[in-house]
Amino acid sequence: MSVKTILVVLLAIVCGLFAAVGMKQLSSTEVVTVQQETTPIAVARSEMPRGRMITAADVEVQEWPKHMLPTGAFASPQEVANRSVMIPIVPGEPILQAKLANKDAGRGLAALVPKGMRAHTIKASQVSSNVAGFIMPGNRVDVLLTLKGTVNDETGGGSTTTLLQAIEILAVDQQLDPPAENKVDPDGLASVTLLVTPKQASRLDLGQHMGQLTLSLRNPEDKGEADTCPTTLADIRYCQDSPLGNLAFDTPSLALPIATQKRKAPATFQVLTFRGSQRSHLQVVEKK
């Protein structure tokens, strides 16, 4: 046997010994399992819509990693039983304090009204016609009030004003949650319930009896105050707006040619006339 063959055999034997020792050490290594510290937490067993009163059967207890415990979580079903849901909860979701009404709030719509606020219902089928039935519980809207006038008053026959801004819709008819198709039938709509302050509730009540209320839908994130002013029939009688509205004239880069800019409305004057004991107003329009 040659020296080269002997070296190859010895090398193979050494490699085999190392492999055997490694396998023995690997098989004798104990598997160490890191045990996470957990705590019991109450989670929803079924879907819970807004306004629903929670029962013990709706809740189950699961072990939850203690370092991931959500703020406001409950440890047992008894802590959340007989409390009303303010924000919808899905199955398997931890039940949190922020999603529930107070213990003495009761059930239904009343439980969704925060302290100091009011739920005021507008009973008119026309309130959603301006947005074709796309108003849902949880949306934010502006409330517009239209009042009729006379031709001889300062409005020229009528006016529309933004009565309230960024008002939350609590319910549409008797529904506290949006329908599955995300649309309501405007022809069958009977009422819309809004979350307002006591002062706003009195304004809504007066506006509903003296004029017509309509809703203007907002982006859910748009809660700021809009710069609005009342619009009268006299204001829009000679108004010819551009396709881009006022944006075309507020932004220099979008300015339109002079020929396409909106024309200035003729000046109007109110003249008080007397005929015997009869007093009346006469509107005079400046001639261009």
CA angle 39, 44, 46 (to 5 degrees): 155
pLDDT digits (tens, 9 = 90+) for 77-106: 999 998 989 888 999 999 999 999 888 777
Mean pLDDT of the chain: 79
pLDDT digits (tens, 9 = 90+) for 180-209: 666 666 666 778 999 999 999 999 999 999
pLDDT digits (tens, 9 = 90+) for 123-150: 755 554 556 567 888 899 999 999 998 8
Helix (H) or strand (E) holding 199: helix 198-210
Domain ranges of the chain: 38-112, 118-234, 240-285
Residue 60 CA to residue 5 CA, distance in Å, equals 72
pLDDT digits (tens, 9 = 90+) for 218-234: 998 898 999 888 999 98
Name the class of domain 38-112.
alpha beta
160 contacts 145 by C-beta, under 8 angstroms: yes
Beta strands in the chain (DSSP E): 38-44, 59-65, 118-122, 140-148, 158-172, 192-196, 212-217, 231-232, 268-275, 278-285
Kindly tell me the sign of the dihedral angle through the C-alpha atoms of 165, 167, 172, 177.
positive
Is the model's pTM score more than 0.95?
no
pLDDT the model gives residue 250: 46
Q: Which two tokens stand for residue 192?
A: 């819309």
Q: Which two tokens stand for residue 20?
A: 């055997």
pLDDT the model gives residue 62: 94
Q: Which two tokens stand for residue 254?
A: 């979008």
